[in-house]
Structure 1
Amino acid sequence: MKAPVPALGFIAALFLAASPALARQAEAPAAPRVVVGQVAAAIRDAYFDPAKAETIAAALEAEAAAGRYDALTDPRDLETALTARLEPFDQHFSVGKPAPSTPAAAPSSGAASGLAPVPFPVVAARGGQGFRAVQILPGNVGLIDMRMFADFEGPNDPARRQADAALQMVSGADAVIFDLRNNGGGSPAMVGYLVSAFVGPDADVYNRFHSRDGEASEAPAQPYAAPRLDVPVYILISGRTGSAAEAFAYTMQAAKRAVVVGETSGGAANPGGPVFTPSGYRVFISTGSPTNPLTGGNWEQVGVRPDVAVPAEEALETAWKAALAGQANAAPAAATQAAWVREALDAKPAAFDPAPYLGAYGASVIQASADGLTWKNERRPAWRLRPLSPDLFFDVDEPYRRIRFVRDDAGRVTALEILDSQTGVSRLLRRAA
């Protein structure tokens, strides 16, 4: 059995922050020099690199002795200053405010001072175990929106079952997109398991974590049972993408199993967890550091660099279009649908006169909207139409569908045709006003 890997980033922080250690706090805020000394001692004792730990701790102690932090008597200001001072050494470093000495009353919706950490299992359970949404985009492109990498140990744990459900839903997709643009990290157990869904069972691609206690691997003890070795994978990242989310993107990129799209990620590679000082401060300290067997390095401080660099807000559409372009040589029906969807995504807003199109067609009606047309067929939901070319419009919500208006020799609109890349063509005559 593989040695366990310490959880990455905020997962460990949330879990341990909800432990009984939160109850420990001095009766009054400790003096800044005392707090800084305790933070330095914690780093010296726990940071994965003893030599670097000594350098960091000595620097903090010297600064405290010189009075650098004396004016920061409000714990909130002190924690902010210490976090800013430590982050250049390691992106996972953070210093949290002291825990309350007594449980706080439930805050009102507008209050912040009474908020307390929520146990991680509650956070994960209320957040779909990190899976915000799983869907099939038009053109048969799977999209998995993840907001955390939840932890699990066995196949029956909720997070593992949720991962299996997400992977099953996209198992027939022609490409898969992971949206990690708002994912701050989590557990290496989920990282390794998701990687195993796209590489062979013997692939040597997993990060190895080095700590004072030895080495551990991110490889799953039980890999995904039916990996898809050839399906195109795209991973969306941003400056918010951190820790375990970066580990997944970095590993898949290094293994040449994913195209990473978006902006350079946060650069927090080293896993760890919180240590509580005698004065009640919570210090997140990295206790390990990963090395990828394919690159010989990791993403600490530099982040994961995208293969396709675009603003984060454009990453999904960019990856979606790339996934559709990859279907050009698919079976005719699939290729046509993918081409139509991509054509709609590429369409630019265009001014047009709606008047010639308005009116009744069979039992349906065309009406003007603020930014195009709508087609309402009896009691069915209306299609939102945008122009592609003169007399040709696409359905915004299902872009593999078109409405084409037919004109007579005099240029009057006399009918409309419903074009569906899946079901074919139907025609409705225009009714007299």
Structure 2
Amino acid sequence: MFKQQLLILSVLIPVIGIALQIYWNRHLTLPVMIFRCLLNTVIARNKYLGRLSEMTEKTRSNKKESIFMMGSVMRPHWKDLDLEAKTLNSLVAFAGQSQLKLDKYGLRKSMEHQALYPPIEAGRNCESIQVIESLRNSIFVRMKEFNLDKSKEPKVLFYVHGGGGYGGLAAGLQARGVVEFLNDSRYTHSIKFMLSVNYRLLGLDENEKKKRDVYAANFEDQLEDCWNAYQWLLKENNFKPQNIVMMGDSFGPMLIMNLLAKIGANATEQLPRAAALASGYFDLSGKTLGENFDEENSILVSKNNMELIQGLYATEKSSYSPIGYDSTVVSSFNATKLLLVYSNHEECTADNVKMVQTLQNGKHPHVQVIAENGHIHGYPLFFYYSPQIRKTMEKMIEFLDQSQLFN
């Protein structure tokens, strides 16, 4: 009798989960709906059938998880996470196994996955979206105003996506996720606009690097694209620096820190109000990443991915690595309030620890840190899928919204 009940339950849970997801997410694209159905179904399985189990030595040594255990294999340092985050981590880890089979072009392509959040569409999750051709097709989004805090001056969010410098999209999962969060009726904020920068991705071979209108030949090209995008906000749209806030993930914080240093060296009056940096990669040489590489904590960045990143920027100037900034450079952007968010169990943990220490040594007066256990690289962007992660994203947006201007 008990086995029959379990069998019925195992059938009903996926059916109910799919039905509910279709109902609540009927406005989503099919890939997003399928992913959310899958995740909620696996969460229900783990919750009601007790399928969540700790990784065994056999699984660890094989570096491979069975498809039947997809979304149900827990690693020890995930113990403090909610069930949703554990399940998400397990699904991401399972999917990440395929990275090891990809060449560098395949790794870039894999970063274009669009199943986490719906596309940005005018009238659905924003007021308008504009493609800025002069900024290499960066996207400028105007949010809906139903939850806009009109007691404050409207702000613009300057977003720089991650992707190891060679992958990612301006209209990818990062921008999509931020728009979905800002459009949530549960929150009131003053961020009315977002510019997601479409900086040139670093060429993966010499032929790509020669196509300077499409790919970057070096890090300086990428920094130049971010600088031009920031100047576009100031000069062509007349945004005041005190109403500009920045946000980025993974490789994005690398560019943001270099951009802050460049603004600080050339025009301190143009420094933005605040910057929130998620899982930042701060050593351009990749040395810190390589020396601290831990396969158990490497869910999103596979070993071949790490080695590719190290090779791409091997000849760049050390001055581009923010962890090496001296007090003079750090003091040049003292007016910008900083928030660094990272997991103590991710690929870029050591990068962030060193970056925090560099800022403290340079006596930057306005640095806040959120360091949490068990999460994966870039975890705040997965806010939709875990109440626990959502709280972190709430803190990041609140930081950008509430930060006072410092002189």
Q: Which protein has the bigger helix share? A: 2
TM-score (normalised: structure 2): 0.26
Q: Which has the larger radius of gyration?
A: 1
TM-score (normalised: structure 1): 0.25
Q: Which protein has the bigger strand share? A: 1
